[in-house]
Structure 1
Amino acid sequence: MQTDEKKMMTYQETMDYIDSLQSGGIVPGLDNIRALCEKLGNPQDALSFVHIAGTNGKGSVLCLVSSVLKQAGYRTGRYISPTIFDYRERFQIGERPISKKDLCLYMTRLKKACEELKAEGNRQPTPFEVETALAFLYFKEKDCDIVVLETGMGGRLDATNIIQNTLVAVFASISLDHMRFLGNTLAEIAREKAGIIKPGCSAVSAPQKEEVLSVLKAACEKQKVSLDVADPGSLKKIKSTIKGQRFSYGKYQDLMVTLAGRYQLDNALTALLALQQLSEKGFPVKEKDIYKGFAEGTWPGRFEVIGQKPLFIADGAHNRDGAARLADSIGFYFTNKRIIYIIGMLRDKEQEEILKVTCPYAEQILTVSTEGSRGLTSYELALKAKGFHQNVTCTDSVEEAIELAYLMADKDTVIVAFGSLSYLGKLITAVRNGKKGQAVKHG
């Protein structure tokens, strides 16, 4: 199915079409994505994958694995969601987002396929199903050697799970999130995520709670798949700063990652184990590729320094496990520092659980609204935060929150913005482009 460029949607028409899909919401299941991909000639069957599931850390593992594969010379596709700055970041080859022209071209083809499906009596594919099918088609037609693929939610019934050519199934940290769809216990959630294990693949896992690990082991045994579990105790000579971390592991001495946050050591080791398994699956990488790929891998919005004097950190902690990891890093890096929070959250997240573990570190909390049907207003979030902290102020905009934070801070204060990724892109851009002068003023 080809598209005449003269009939191709414009970029504005493409973005309007994507917006129109949002009413479809989330519908777990594989029947519709299978039907959609069949319309496109099943492009996923021509690709090889590293498939990553988990609650927190998927993106960081994806970043490190794909960075090394790129260094090794493989044409590497990567599919991620959600994104922070630009919709096109979802579809990347060699860490370059899809061009506007290609996005329009491929989305026009997807729209035609969706219309054919609906005419045949099928439901309209969800936004994630459309994006997943587009990713497969784009990566196939651009001749990717390998694709590093992040699940959207869960695993077993996630749209990405129609793939068959999984080389390595990777499990980042699994914890409680999306309980309405995945289950109310760790074991139930782990069983859903373990659904990405395919016969013939290898499996790698970050450190997990025993309840999760037992589920993963059982799933691997059923599929006759080996499971390699990261052991943080095997890391040596660890040096952690907010600029990055160094560690040694086996033959790798003084490996550096620019990802800050102590939890990133688990993700780095998980990525390293995945790369070792890939080498046995026909995608060998040299030691120099690992050193360079790890050092150059960057992932925005994950305990990222976005401003200096005062230090300004942005982190995408949006569930209870992510909040606990953020709190651990704040306690580790910023002992006895004044901390100001900027927080924005979605309505369907566990606000109380997140606030309970993070609020004790803050001197002042500023809340912002998040947009969309899942958005939570600044006022609603402030009311919840006041149950855990005395000094809470709701703001009218991200820009106002940044301005107030700078006015309250001195050069030794640390400002930490976290919560939903949906607002962090706007905040990071504002701090870097519009508010630097205020930061320097305090220096």
Structure 2
Amino acid sequence: MTYEEARAFIDDTSKYGYILGLDTVTELLSRLGNPQDDLKFVHIAGTNGKGSILAYVSTILKEAGYKVGRYISPTIFEYRERIQVNEAYIPEEAVARLAERIYQAGQAMLAEGLAHPTAFEVETALAFLYFKETDCDIVVLETGMGGLTDATNVVKTTLVSAFASISMDHMGFLGDTLEEIARIKAGIIKPDTTVISTVQTARVREVLEEACREKRASYREVQKEELKDKKISFEDQSFTYKDRTNLRPGILGSCQLENAAAALEVIDALRELGYPVTEEALRRGLEQTEWAGRFTVIEEDPLFLVDGAHNRDAADRLLETLKLYVPEKRKIFIIGVLGDKEYDYMMSRLAPEAERIVTVMTPDNQRALPAEELAEAVRKYNPNVEAAENIPEAVKKAKGYAGGDGMVLAFGSLSYLGDLIRAVRKEAG
């Protein structure tokens, strides 16, 4: 099987949909020798911030000398980005070779009348096989959706479970109330383990604490009152947390101080479990962390940023971030969203901040909202909106409107930001 054939096989499995549950992935992994049982995990769930916490934790651990696996979704730049070891993408050769094994296992399952694994289950198995093959010391694992019935929850050897901010999202799959969603996400908690959380609402905290009591797990939440000496700007971003002063996180955004503090709590929990990390490695890793698509500057003139805000909580946080970092700048927005997201709420919060808005349809995604339909939703909150035929046109229009003294912010679905970044770079020559 070539890399192209492997990709075609995985793409073809998308016809099996996204099915929550562990029966099929458990069967698949059993036929592959259960590679996940030979690995140790930091397992991360939540609504917004999972990837940022994952990036901080894995970069710090890499700087401390560990071989660290990363499993993330969705990706921005290319397919292989979702499976990394020490920030290097899985090679095409490994994808092809391991996908062949998974293909054979899937065909055997079909022949026996069993369900075929979904695309996410195939990718999860592929990641576990590669992480075992490369002898990872620790794998930092991000859930795909939810927690309890997410394919990643097949793991049994979790060292630390971590929770990013939990809010309303994926309601059709996870539940209609915040408590229901939190309970599903709390399903990753394993007995007698350490649980770390960023700052949560009282309703979510109660659910997480109850789950920890049931599993005899210890619960530790970021203490907001211990976040002090906060400096938030493009030029100087730093904070103090507990007894650590002048901490300098590498990712911009108003929520990143809490995400960074959660990562520090995870590292301290790992230290207590016998995984040494020096303070020098911790600080170096924190500062060197990068996470594309999270209030990321991709061009300086005009200032051009991208952000993957795509739900209620993320919209609120992006609005807060804009007011902190660029309160006086003329703002031009490029927006592309999926049709099953609460985009009307997002537009009500963010659209009034822009001088002009250009909408796009995210490419190659069946869930994408047409640009004209999104423009109509925006028009209720800002009349200065137009739909672009494609991403390069949107970039050209937005940069033209920004001129020399404005800024462009592209946000919405992460699925189109890679194409947009490539379009910006191509235009810059």
Equivalent of 2:33 in 37, 41, 46: 41
Counterpart in 1 of 2:421?
428
Counterpart in 2 of 1:379?
372
Letter in 2 for 1:240: I
Counterpart in 2 of 1:441?
none
Question: Separation in 2 of the partners of 1:48 and 1:364?
Answer: 48
2:73 is paired with a residue of what secondary structure?
A: coil
Counterpart in 2 of 1:297?
289
Give the TM-score taking structure 2 as reference length: 0.98
Question: Separation in 2 of the partners of 1:413 and 1:64?
Answer: 31
Contact 1:341 1:417 in 2 (8 A): yes
Contact 2:232 2:324 in 1 (8 A): no
Tell me whether 1:78 sits opposite 2:89 in the alignment: no
After TM superposition, give the deviation of residue 357 of structure 1 in Å.
1.0
After TM superposition, give the deviation of residue 122 of structure 1 in Å.
1.0
Tell me whether 1:316 sits opposite 2:303 in the alignment: no
Question: Separation in 2 of the partners of 1:204 and 1:213?
Answer: 11
Task: Give aligned pairs, total.
Answer: 428
Counterpart in 2 of 1:411?
404
Equivalent of 2:150 in 158, 162, 174: 158
Give the TM-score taking structure 1 as reference length: 0.95
Counterpart in 1 of 2:383?
390
Q: Where do residues 147-296 of structure 1 align in structure 2 (5 Å cutoff)?
A: 147-243=139-235, 245-296=237-288
Question: Separation in 2 of the partners of 1:129 and 1:119?
Answer: 18
1:279 is paired with a residue of what secondary structure?
A: helix
> What does the per-residue CA deviation read over 1:154-197, in whole Å, with 9 as the maximum and x for residues that have no partner?
00000000111111000000000000010011100000000000
Q: Given the superposition, is the C-alpha separation of residues 238 and 350 from structure 1 closer, same or farther in structure 2, using an over 3 Å criterion? A: same
> What does the per-residue CA deviation read over 1:274-303, in whole Å, with 9 as the maximum and x for residues that have no partner?
110011112121100101100111000000
After TM superposition, give the deviation of residue 436 of structure 1 in Å.
2.1
Counterpart in 2 of 1:95?
87
> What does the per-residue CA deviation read over 1:40-91, in whole Å, with 9 as the maximum and x for residues that have no partner?
0111111110000000000000000000110111111010000000100111
After TM superposition, give the deviation of residue 327 of structure 1 in Å.
0.7
Question: Separation in 2 of the partners of 1:324 and 1:25?
Answer: 31
1:257 is paired with a residue of what secondary structure?
A: coil
After TM superposition, give the deviation of residue 243 of structure 1 in Å.
5.0
> What does the per-residue CA deviation read over 1:129-156, in whole Å, with 9 as the maximum and x for residues that have no partner?
1111111111111111110000000000
Counterpart in 2 of 1:440?
none
Indicate the larger mover: 338-347 or 404-413.
Answer: 404-413
Contact 1:243 1:258 in 2 (8 A): no
Counterpart in 2 of 1:334?
326
Question: Separation in 1 of the partners of 2:178 and 2:234?
Answer: 31
Question: Separation in 1 of the partners of 2:263 and 2:375?
Answer: 38
Q: Given the superposition, is the C-alpha separation of residues 123 and 243 from structure 1 closer, same or farther in structure 2, using an over 3 Å criterion? A: farther
* Structure 2 unaligned spans of 5+: none
Indicate the larger mover: 97-106 or 237-246.
Answer: 237-246
Percent of residue pairs identical: 49
1:241 is paired with a residue of what secondary structure?
A: coil
2:403 is paired with a residue of what secondary structure?
A: coil
Contact 2:41 2:160 in 1 (8 A): yes
Contact 1:331 1:361 in 2 (8 A): no
Letter in 2 for 1:142: T
> What does the per-residue CA deviation read over 1:334-375, in whole Å, with 9 as the maximum and x for residues that have no partner?
212211100000111111111111112111110001132111
Question: Separation in 2 of the partners of 1:329 and 1:64?
Answer: 19
Contact 1:167 1:200 in 2 (8 A): no
Q: Given the superposition, is the C-alpha separation of residues 344 and 25 from structure 1 closer, same or farther in structure 2, using an over 3 Å criterion? A: same
Counterpart in 2 of 1:5?
none
After TM superposition, give the deviation of residue 377 of structure 1 in Å.
1.2
Contact 2:45 2:142 in 1 (8 A): yes
After TM superposition, give the deviation of residue 435 of structure 1 in Å.
2.1
2:36 is paired with a residue of what secondary structure?
A: helix
Contact 2:148 2:184 in 1 (8 A): yes
Letter in 1 for 2:52: S
Contact 1:247 1:256 in 2 (8 A): yes
Q: Given the superposition, is the C-alpha separation of residues 227 and 70 from structure 1 closer, same or farther in structure 2, using an over 3 Å criterion? A: same
Question: Separation in 2 of the partners of 1:89 and 1:413?
Answer: 32
Letter in 2 for 1:311: L
Question: Separation in 2 of the partners of 1:387 and 1:195?
Answer: 39
> What does the per-residue CA deviation read over 1:246-271, in whole Å, with 9 as the maximum and x for residues that have no partner?
11223322111121111111100000
Question: Separation in 1 of the partners of 2:46 and 2:305?
Answer: 24
Letter in 2 for 1:416: L
Contact 2:69 2:138 in 1 (8 A): yes
